[in-house]
Amino acid sequence: MNLFRKKSIEDVTAGSSHPLQKHLGVRDLTAFGIAAIIGAGIFSTIGKASYDGGPGVIFLFIFTALACSCAAFAYAEFASMMPVSGSAYTYSFVAFGELFAWIIGWALIMEYAIGNVTVAISWSDYFTALLENAFHYHLPTWLSMDYFTARTQYLASFHTVGRNDGLEAFTTAPLLGGYPLIFDAPALLINILITILVYRGIRESRNASNIMVAVKLLIVILVIVVGAFYVDTTNWHPFLPNGIPGLLKGISAVFFAYIGFDAISTTAEECRDPQRDLPRGILYSIIICTVLYVVIALVITGMVHYSELNLGDPLAYVFEKIKSLQWLSGVIAISAVVAMASVMLVFQLGQPRIWMSMSRDGLLPAAFAKIHPKYHTPGFSTIITGLMVGIPIFFIDATTVTDICSAGTLFAFCLVCGGVLRLSVQPGYTPKFKTPYVNSQFIVPILFLAAVTWILSSDAVRANWLVPMGSAAFWAMVPQYLFLIGFLWFSVLCFKHKFSLIPALGLLSCFYMLSQLGLRNWLYFSGWLVAGLVIYFAYGYRHSKLAQKSTT
């Protein structure tokens, strides 16, 4: 059984001659990246991250941006060699083989399809609030939340005083087969509309994305300019009120704010000049969004004390507190609705193209690679993606999948960075876009020694790491122990092979962020991967084009 059979770069590019329309340039790709990145990060998760880390949350945004930028160089390098629609899936196929390619393709479902469930629910929250505040229309509760969240709140109402949304939903919802009919109608509606738009074509998706990006960039710049006049610098003291541990609590929320830039690489076959434009689009979008994230964080933590920001709509909140600026909170609500829709659009574009590539390789049924004769899009895959987002909307709440989605994406980033390093030491590796080379032979081992020295020299840090084996604290630290072991092994590889520093740092920083997500999320993600492996061995391994080639 050959689990690591690989495709060559020539095989990948030769197998991509499908009639996808080439309409995208560097401006469109940058807009897609901004569309994906500026969403929940600015309008929602930045509040919780600021509450945990204080004004110093800007360091976390900068660190995450540097990590994503290192990974982006690896994506850009691969995309310049293989301008096809597979993204990390295809890159892993060439670098590590079919088994890893399947694993990463399965993991990317967490980022694009399942991640879009979270975005759709967040969009629904902003939309219902906008209906109520701007038009004074209250959408029935049973039409604006998922069944299981409503059920949990309904049961909790028996032990608390007063009404809650779940109790209201259960007591007012119509019955279907004896069960209350409760579902998030706005989330379902936006998913249907986005799916139709993506199904119709890349040109329509591009035009819609460019318009939405222009709107939300104008709003974000307006918020920065107006808010800057109301910043009270005393709110920035202390800058790191909860220290490094408090700052790191927000790592999942901050990283989730950057998820999506890699979706640009799934549109490679629809680019006019992918070797030139893809690297630029990826890096430009990260740079622009990082600057906006840092400035917005400074503005909102300067306008109000960080301790007030533990809420889902921090931007609207800080402007509601100032009477002369309350009009702007309504504008922010509208822009949030636009921003979330644009994120959904890019994610909904990415997933079908991953499945299309997997189907071309025989790992999924041929229908997933079928191109619509009129719209020139992967039509069947687009519909299935819409169903994968739409069905969980009925029973999944937004917080359930955020961390697991981050885990899947970080895992993909690690493999892409590792793939570039693996190919770079092989003869004949000549990408058209080459990451600037800095020798990591001594730098990475020195960083490892510095990390160990810090752990052993700091009493507080050492107490967290040196805990009784088998205790609850020990199991909580398992992901970080695995990171340290991996860091040691990777330091040896860097010393031996003289890897390029930028992708090496990308792998290490993404692995570190992955270790901070907690053991529970590692277990959830591992369960998801096991389910994927069952499907692979039941179907993909036997139907693989490489398997068929080896038997002929």
pLDDT, tens only, 102-140: 888 888 887 777 778 878 887 887 788 788 877 788 888
pLDDT for 312 equals: 65
Say if residue 90 is in the same domain as residue 210: yes
Closest by CA to 198, choosing from 17, 384, 390, 379, is 379
pLDDT of residue 202: 67
Do 98 and 234 share a structural domain? Answer: yes
Please name which of 437, 546, 433, 409 lies closest in space to residue 83, comparing C-alpha atoms: 433
Q: Is residue 196 part of a domain?
A: yes
Q: Are residues 89 and 198 in the same domain?
A: yes
Predicted confidence (pLDDT) at residue 550 exceeds the cutoff of 60? no
Confidence of residue 13 (pLDDT cuts 50, 70, 90): low
pLDDT tens profile 23-41: 778 888 888 788 777 776 6
Task: Identify the pLDDT of residue 62.
Answer: 87
What is the average per-residue pLDDT within 39-63? 79
428 is a domain residue: no
Q: What is the predicted pLDDT for the residue at 441?
A: 92
pLDDT, residue 440, reads 93
Torsion angle of alpha carbons 222, 29, 261, 60, nearest 10°?
-40
Q: What is the pLDDT of residues 64-76, one digit of tens each?
A: 888 888 888 888 7
Same-domain check for residues 451 and 544: yes
d(CA 97, CA 89): 10
Outline where 114-242 has alpha helix (H).
115-135, 147-156, 165-172, 185-200, 202-228
User: Distance between CA 80 and CA 434 in Å, rounded?
Assistant: 9
Percent of the chain with pLDDT over 70: 89
Model confidence at 369: pLDDT above 90: no
Q: Which residue has the higher pLDDT, 174 or 274?
A: 174
Q: Name the burial class of residue 552, with classes exposed (0-12), middle (13-18) and buried (19+) by CB atoms within 10 angstroms of its CB.
A: exposed
Residue 81: predicted pLDDT: 73
d(CA 383, CA 287): 33
Query: Looking at the domain assignment, is residue 1 inside a domain?
Result: no
In the predicted model, what is the mean pLDDT of residues 204-229?
A: 80
Rg (CA), the chain: 23
pLDDT at 388 over 70: yes
418-449 pLDDT, tens digit each: 988 988 887 777 777 778 889 999 999 999 99
90 and 13 share one domain: yes
Pair 267, 403 in one domain: yes
Please report which confidence band the pLDDT of residue 86 belongs to, taking 50, 70 and 90 as the band edges.
low
Asked if residue 464 and residue 338 are part of one domain, the reply reads: no
Of residues 82 and 394, the one with the higher pLDDT is 394
Pairwise CA distance, residues 423 & 261, whole Å: 23
- Among the residue ranges 209-223, 248-262, 271-285, 516-530, the one predicted with the least confidence is 248-262
pLDDT score, position 411 = 86
Q: Which domain holds residue 61?
A: 9-138+186-423
Band (400; pLDDT cuts 50, 70, 90): low
- Which residue, 37, 22, 11, 5, is CA-closest to 282? 37
Which of 494 and 331 is assigned the larger pLDDT? 494
pLDDT mean over 156-182: 81
Residues 301, 365 share a domain: yes
Residue 34 and residue 209: Cα distance in Å, rounded? 9
Q: How far is CA 51 from the centre of its chain?
A: 21
Q: Residue 16: is its pLDDT beyond 60? A: no
Average pLDDT value for residue range 53-81 = 84
User: Cα dist. 240→52, 53, 58, 247, 546 in Å?
Assistant: 9, 6, 10, 8, 53
- Residue 253 domain-assigned (yes or no): yes
Domain boundary among 400, 423, 446: 423
Each residue's pLDDT tens digit, 218-271: 888 888 888 888 888 998 988 888 777 777 777 766 777 777 777 777 776 777
Are 194 and 154 part of one and the same domain? no
- Confirm whether 3 is domain-assigned: no
Domain total in the chain: 3
442-475 confidence digits (pLDDT tens): 999 999 999 999 888 877 777 878 888 878 888 8
* Cα gap 312→521, rounded to integer Å: 22
pLDDT tens digits, 171-202:
888 988 888 888 889 999 999 998 988 888 76
DSSP 8-state code for residue 102: H
According to the model, what pLDDT value does residue 534 have? 92
Q: pLDDT tens digits for 279-329?
A: 788 888 888 888 888 898 899 889 888 888 877 677 777 887 877 877 777
Report the pLDDT value the prediction gives residue 180, as an integer from 0 to 100.
87
Per-residue tokens: 328: 């702007």
CB 509 within 8 A of CB 70: yes
The torsion angle over the Cα atoms of residues 235, 238, 243 and 248, rounded to 10 degrees, is: 20
Instruction: Please tell me whether residues 517 and 499 are part of one structural domain.
Output: yes
pLDDT of residue 482: 93
**Same domain membership, residue 295 and residue 159:** no
Distance CA(323)–CA(257), nearest Å, equals: 29
On whether residue 519 sits in a domain, the answer given is yes
Please give the pLDDT value at position 83: 65
Q: Torsion over CA of 423, 426, 427 and 428, rounded to 10 degrees?
A: -10
Measured between alpha carbons, how far is 110 from 402 in angstroms, rounded to an integer?
9
Q: Is it the case that residue 549 has pLDDT exceeding 70?
A: no
Query: Do 489 and 398 fall into the same domain?
Result: no
pLDDT value, residue 443: 95
* Residue 460, number of CB atoms within 10 A of its CB: 9
**Is residue 2 in some structural domain?**
no
Write the CA distances from 27 to 23, 131, 212, 213, integer angstroms.
11, 33, 14, 11
The per-residue pLDDT for 448 is: 95
Which CATH number covers residue 383? 1.20.1740.10
In three-state secondary structure terms, 474 is: helix
Among 359, 394, 423, the domain-final residue is 423
Report if residue 53 sits inside a domain: yes
Q: Which of 378, 399, 423 is the last residue in one of the domains? A: 423
